[in-house]
């Protein structure tokens, strides 16, 4: 195989690539303007000039956005290079992420709209897991 060959080869690869592209785009949006993500997640957006000293919300959003940006790149590159071992590793960890984010919303640690992050992670993990299962079954 050509080591410079970059293409998505199968359904599991597409689940990884799509998730990565979404994470990359949301991370990019947060790096450009953290208020976009705060609003999407259902948090109150307040003017920067009214933030209290020691309010590190924007620092945290920047760090989270950078992590999302990088993670998105990793997922897309793994899909383009067909790194199946990485696909398998992501499924249980994304289910853990789903559980933590869903519980944060249910327990009112985060706004209920935050449950969307958990659902996104859960559906993505199940889609990747199902695609991997079907591909293995078919081989």
Question: Could you read off the pLDDT of 44-53 as tens digits, one per residue?
Answer: 899 988 999 9
- In this model, does residue 84 exceed pLDDT 80? yes
**Alpha helix positions (H), 1-139:** 11-32, 34-40, 57-81, 84-106, 115-138
Mean pLDDT of 49-76: 94
Q: DSSP character for 109?
A: S
pLDDT recorded at residue 3:
65
Q: How confident is the model at residue 1 (pLDDT cuts 50, 70, 90)?
A: low
- In this model, does residue 34 exceed pLDDT 60? yes
Mean pLDDT of 88-117: 95
Mean pLDDT of 5-31: 95
pLDDT recorded at residue 41:
84
pLDDT recorded at residue 60:
93
Spatial separation of the C-alpha atoms in residues 38 and 30, rounded to whole Å: 9
Spatial separation of the C-alpha atoms in residues 10 and 31, rounded to whole Å: 31
Mean pLDDT of 82-90: 96
Mean pLDDT of 67-83: 97
Q: How confident is the model at residue 103 (pLDDT cuts 50, 70, 90)?
A: very high
């Amino acid at each position: 195989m050509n080591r410079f060959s970059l293409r998505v080869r199968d359904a599991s690869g597409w689940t990884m690539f799509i998730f990565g592209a979404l994470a990359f785009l949301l991370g990019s949006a947060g790096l450009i303007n953290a208020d976009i993500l705060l609003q999407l997640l259902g948090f109150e957006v307040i003017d920067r000039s009214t933030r209290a000293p020691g309010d590190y919300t924007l620092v945290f959003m920047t760090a989270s956005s950078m992590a999302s940006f990088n993670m998105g790149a990793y997922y897309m590159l793994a899909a383009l290079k067909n790194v199946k071992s990485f696909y398998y590793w992501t499924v249980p960890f994304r289910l853990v992420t789903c559980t933590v984010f869903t519980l944060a919303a249910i327990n009112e640690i985060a706004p209920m709209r935050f449950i969307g992050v958990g659902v996104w992670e859960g559906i993505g993990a199940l889609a990747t897991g199902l695609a991997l299962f079907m591909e293995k079954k078919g081989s």
